[in-house]
Amino acid sequence: MIKVGVVGGTGYTGVELLRLLAQHPEVDLVAITSRGEAGTPVADMFPSLRGRVALAFSDPASAALEKCDLVFFATPNGVAMQQAPALLEAGVKVIDLAADFRLKDANVWEKWYGMPHTSQRWLAEAVYGLPEVNRKSIRKASLVANPGCYPTATQLGFLPLVESGCIDVSSLIADVKSGVSGAGRKAETHILFSEASDNFKAYGVPGHRHLPEISQGLTLAAGRAVGLTFVPHLTPMIRGIHATLYARITREADFQAIFEQRYAKEPFVDVLPPKSHPETRSVRASNICRIALHRPQNGNTLVVLSVIDNLVKGAAGQAVQNMNLMFDFDECTGLSHVPVLP
């Protein structure tokens, strides 16, 4: 059993993390902080946790997080880079579910996130928490930057191709669709039920913060700079990301075999048989990523379909997977929920 704290548990990433941690056999949840909700029992805000999480939100100042073995930050961007360093220096391990430590180049980070980066030292230390790429480093990390939801689905879908050297990495296209919970729990007009229901739209086409994150990961995998067009869309469902990925073939290969081999030992990546169409509900509330490969009309373009639950493999579940690695638990501990369908 390890002592775990959560900073900022009032958003969707936070409540999902609490759902998973409450069922994790190795976790003793000792503090959940929220400046705005200090004193409120967690289960009053999230009635799904009644009888399962007895804690109240506590004030960050008095939470004694430095006595934890691990602290998760489920906070807005910019918080972890301020507060995590003190914990790290006290020997507490940290997983940041926000974006503070995802981009290795602080200049790029500052451009996309619009604020100065205040912890470049720890930015250099941080390990990007995509286990399918960085499993070894994660095991030894003190600070893990948990990937974004779009970047998880997109990278897992593109990685085998990019690594294979068989596609044109200068013209990648990622047309990605997200459920509304990906936009967070802060009350904003465009994500009201009456705005987002029975509706579909693209957004952020000129530039979305997940673009540099995906590019960074794929560039590392390719060994050279990739060119990526990334178009996110808002879909009227609560959970789920569906990435539809397009790549032009430059060298023939058995692409299905490339995917199957790449992920043969991955516990949370499921490569479907050829010509499958994965549905987001097939991974709902689970940590699984399902991927299918197509070559329409036997042409020159590969189409990869990749689905995850944005709150699980795209956020809280992947964070727990990283925790399992960092503390040498079985990687699947507390993550074996069967997807909820229908």
Active-site positions read: 149
φ/ψ of 106, rounded to 5, equals: -60, -30
Pick between residue 93 and residue 177 the one whose CB is nearest to a second copy: 177
Closest distance of CB 217 from a second copy, Å = 17
φ/ψ of 182, rounded to 5, equals: -60, -20
Cβ atoms of residues 104 and 220 within 8 Å = no
Q: Which of residues 11-40 bind a second copy (CB under 8 A)?
A: 12, 15, 19, 22-23
Cβ atoms of residues 9 and 33 within 8 Å = yes
**Contact status: 284 vs a second copy (CB under 8 A):** yes
Closest distance of CB 116 from a second copy, Å = 23
- Binding residue for a second copy, selected from 142, 303, 327, 333, defined by CB under 8 A: 303
| Of 152, 140, 32, 141, the residue nearest 95 (C-alpha) | 141
DSSP character at residue 130: -
- Taking the C-alpha atoms of residue 337 and residue 342, their distance in angstroms, rounded to an integer, is 14
- Binding residue for a second copy, selected from 25, 36, 39, 51, defined by CB under 8 A: 51
- Binding residue for a second copy, selected from 78, 248, 249, 266, defined by CB under 8 A: 248
SS3 201: strand
Q: Which of residues 192-211 bind a second copy (CB under 8 A)?
A: 192-203, 205-207, 211
Pick between residue 74 and residue 145 the one whose CB is nearest to a second copy: 74
Q: Which of residues 304-333 bind a second copy (CB under 8 A)?
A: 305, 307, 311
Pick between residue 120 and residue 250 the one whose CB is nearest to a second copy: 250
Cβ atoms of residues 230 and 176 within 8 Å = yes
**Contact status: 275 vs a second copy (CB under 8 A):** yes
Q: Which stretch binds a second copy (CB under 8 A): 42-50, 97-105, 122-130, 256-264?
A: 42-50
- Taking the C-alpha atoms of residue 61 and residue 313, their distance in angstroms, rounded to an integer, is 30
